[in-house]
Amino acid sequence: MAGLPGSADLLLWNFAPGSATPLQYYLQNTLHAEDAQWGQWNAIVGASAIPTFMLFGLLCQKLPLNTLLLWGTVVAVPQMVPLLFIHSVSGALIAAVPIGLMGGVATAADLDLLIRSCPRGLQGTTLMMAGSLYWIADRFGDVLGTNLYEYYGGFAACVIAITVVYALILPTLLLVPKRLIATADGQANAAKRIKREVNHGFDLRPMLCLDQ
Taking residue 56's Cβ as centre, other Cβ atoms within 10 Å add up to 22
Q: What is the model's pLDDT at position 134?
A: 87
Percent residues over pLDDT 70 in the chain: 85
Q: Mean pLDDT over residues 185-209, rounded?
A: 51
Whether the pLDDT of residue 210 is over 60: the answer is no
Q: 153 vs 60, which has greater pLDDT?
A: 60
Q: Is the pTM of this model over 0.85?
A: no
Q: How many CA atoms lie within 13 A of 108 on its CB side?
A: 25
Q: What is the model's pLDDT at position 189?
A: 56
CATH number, domain 4-181: 1.20.1250.20
**Could you state, in order of their start, the residue ranges of all structural domains in the chain?**
4-181, 183-212
156-195: pLDDT as tens digits:
999 999 999 999 999 999 888 898 999 999 876 554 544 4
Query: Cα-Cα-Cα-Cα dihedral of 132, 138, 144, 146, to 10°?
Result: -140
| Sign of the alpha-carbon torsion through 38, 79, 167, 58 | positive
